[in-house]
Structure formats: structure tokens, C-alpha cells
Structure 1
Amino acid sequence: MNAINAFNSHVSDFQFSHVLDFQFVSLSDFQFFAVIKIFTSTNATSLEVLAINGNNFGGLLPECISNLSTTLRRLFVGENNIVGTTPSGILNPINLEELSMWNNRFSGKIPSDIGKLQRLQSMRLHINNLSGKIPHSLGNLSMLLKLYLGDNNLQGNIPSSLGNCQSLLILNLSTNNLSGTIPPQVFGLSSLSNIGLYLSSNHFTGPLHMEVGNLKNLGEFDISKNMLTGEIPGSLGSCVSLESLYMQGNFLQVTIPSSFGSLRGLKELDLFRNNLLGKNPDFLCVSTHCNF
């Protein structure tokens, strides 16, 4: 694979007219206008990976990002200080498999037609200032493995269409302003693995659906710091891969189901700041760190 790593270089030292055959471009210690030159280059027809992450780039992400070739598979702009809204042109490289824009200062809404990136496997938009609703079109991303939208200002409900993302290994929506009930379709994502399901620090209400028992491969489940009510469903005892379960800071009527005895691998259980009823079962606290 042809590549350029522009570490400790100056933009004047590199002739952008020669990027025709490059497949991988990684920039460090460049000024942001160097990135704009790459975005507007009409010769980068073989570019597959563009990485400008981990710098101190500021300013807006230019609209001319739409000129990137459809051969682009991975775009990394995370860990910078880029501001403004997400340009609609970010969706033009329709063969993107990985989109990483995390830890910037992006604001505004996630593009409503983000679902056109149907080859996308990983989307990292966490730790920004994004607002608005989670687009319904995310449900079109049937190949999606990892979805990180945490630490933003997203509002509204979780779209039930996320239940179509049957390949998801991790879903992180924590630390937003999401509300409503957690749709049962989320608990139908049996592909969720030991990486986890993170819904903490939102405004979710209502009870947990019995469908949560479908998450038999889930290793970490965090629904803490919401406004959930009702009882803990006994079906949670079917989540036999659980190692960490965080439910603290809700309004749950907590009688720990006897089915929790099946959670042999559970190492962390936090039910603090709920309405605990009954006696704490001895079978849990023998091998599990419990906080009631």
C-alpha cells in the first residue's frame, strides 16, 4: 500500500499533485489548511484512508470534504478542536467503513441521511456537542459493529430502527439528554457482546422490558442515573455473560430476582440509590462486589 506519513514535515515540502496513487495519508504537525488542500485535490482517486486524528486542528471541517473519492474506506478526524456542524458532504464517500470524529467540538445535528453509508462498520461521534435526535436512518446500517454517540447533547427517544442493526457489538448512548422508554428493539440486539451496552446519565423512564433477557452475550450493562421505575425483570438472569451491571440512581423497586443466581460471572453489581426491598441475597455477594 502506498502511503505518506507527514510527521515533522511542512506543507510546502509535499506536492499534493502527486497523490494520485496514495491509498493512505496520515498527517501530523501540519497546519489545518494542508488538510483542506487534500480535501480539494481532484487527483486522490485511490485514497482509502485519511487520518488527521490526534492533532490540535481547529476551525471548521470544510464542505469540500465532499470531494473525497468514493474509494475512501476510513476517515479519522478525532481528537482535535474542530468546531461547527457536520458537513453534508461527509456522506459522499459512500463506501466508508469507519467514521471517527470523536473528541472534537462538533455541534448541530447528526445528518438525517447518515443511513446512506451502508458499508459503515464503526461510527465514533462521542465527546462532542451534537444535539437533536438520533436519526431514524441509522437503522439502515446493517453492517454496523460499533456505535459511539455518548457525551453529547442528543435529545428525544432512541429510535426503534436501531433494532435493525443486528451486527452491533457495542452501543454507547450515555451522557446525553435522551428520554422516553428504552425500546424493546434495543434489547433484541443479541449481537451485543462483552464490550457493552451503555445508556447511563440520560432521562429514560418506565420499566425495563422483559426482552432484556435476549442479551445473552452482553458483558457490561450500564443504565445508571436515569429515571427508570418498576421491578428488575427476572429475565436479566438469562444474561449469563454479564460481568458488570450498573443500575444505581434510578427509581426501581428493587427485589433482586432469584434468577440472578445464574449470573455466575457477575463481578460488579451496583443498585445504590434505588428503592431496595427485601433482603440482599447471599448467593450474589460471595463472588460479586455489590453496592446496595
Structure 2
Amino acid sequence: MNLTDRVAVITGGAGGIGSALARRFVAEGAAAVVLADLDADATRAVAEQIGPVAHAVGLDVTDEAQVHALVDETERRYGRIDLFCANAGVATGGGVEAPDADWDRAWRVNVLAHVYTARAVLPAMLRRGSGYLLFTCSAAGLLTAVGDAPYTATKHAAVGFADWLAITYRDAGIRVSALCPQGVDTPMLADGLAAGHLGARVIAASGAVLTPDQVADATIAGLAEERFLILPHPEVAGYARRRAEDPDGWQAGLRKLVRKLRA
């Protein structure tokens, strides 16, 4: 996909990867970028910084009615949605003992929000015979977020759902990509480090933390090639192969890293 003259929607647009994508889309010549986030004030501030091409909307991605309203409003305002980036996500830092409320929120934000997106945008895209869905799924969806069971489980589900959509709708003109970065310098990582979450410490110890702008650059390249898996950290592909070929050895390596960090 070439972003020139395209209309894009980005959830989780108040900062981090979402705002970096918005800036890069505008630089690529997008006709309009709609930023949506639960933090409406921060989203408006980002849109104002970007300029008149950007439009801000307050949105709770776990509310399907709000997602449909966002899609309807955008289609009325701009005539179509060429690219919808379901980028909002949450981490918990918890294991099996995480309360049900944390599991439920992770499920609703990291998975059901993608389902709501697909339900809302697919009818018009299918009528046109074109459209693009970009889901921010995280490398945790291909590997494991050590120390965060809800994040790991829901990001795997997100990748699985994106894969299903790609198989089901590609021949109808719909493109789907799963964006799977590893460590990114975002508030989510900073909050995890401040709370002492094991997963955030593993990411920081890896020495492979990218900026949101670097993730946006990789995303543009992936969209241009219409790749299903967009991996800002290329090494993730090798990790995934190792995990598939030798799951016991892969788990042993991670256990060793965890023991080192805990010591």
C-alpha cells in the first residue's frame, strides 16, 4: 500500500507507536489521519501538532458501538477508510494469579477490539473490493511475554485472528498485516519498568529497544510490500523459527534468562 491520498484510522493514537504512525502517514502524503484514543485530550494535542490533515476522536476500543460510530463518522467525513490500524493495547505484568478483571481487559483491548474493528470496516471495504487492516500484535504474539500471561495469551490470539482474516479475505481485495515489534520505547514499557514487571526487565536487558519512529519506518516498508508479518526487530523471525524447531531448547533459554534477572 502506498499512503499517498489514503484515509487512515489509528487507535491508541495518543502517543507511542500510534502517534508515530500518524506522523509518518502524513509525511507519506495521507489525505487524512483519524487518531482515536481513550485519552481524548492527549489525542487532540497530537492531532494539533500534526496539522489539519489529522482529526482526533475520543474512543474506548472495548465498546463496539463506539468503534462502529468511529467508522461511520470517518466514512461520512472522508468517504472511505483505506487503512485501519488497530493499535491500542494493554499489558498487565501478571501471571495466572492476575485478577479476572485484568484478564478480561487484556482480552477486550488486545483481541475483541480487533474483532470489533473488522466487523465495522469490512462491509464497506468488501463492497469496494479494497482495504487494509493493520493489527499491532507484538512479538509476544509469536513468542512469549515473560512475566505477563494475559498479554502473551491475548497477543497470540490477535495474531491468530489476523491470520484468519488474511486467509479469508485476501482474494476479496482485503490486505491484513500483523505488526509485531519487540521492545519499543513507549509509556507501556516505561510503566512496566517502573512497576518492576519481569517482562519489561527482559526487554530492557535485551538491548534491542526501538523508538516508535523506527517502528513506524518498518511499518511503512511492510505496508508497501503488503507483508503479513511486519517485524521491526528482524531477529524475531529467527527467534520464532528456533521456537518452532526446538520448543524445549527455546523455553530452557528463557528460563535461564529469567533466573539471571531474578538473581
TM-score normalised by L of structure 2: 0.29
Which of the pair is proportionally richer in helix?
A: 2
Which of the pair is proportionally richer in strand?
A: 1
TM-score normalised by L of structure 1: 0.27
The structure, 1 or 2, with the larger RCO (C-alpha pairs under 8 Å, 6+ apart) is 2
Q: Which of structures 1 and 2 has the bigger CA Rg?
A: 1
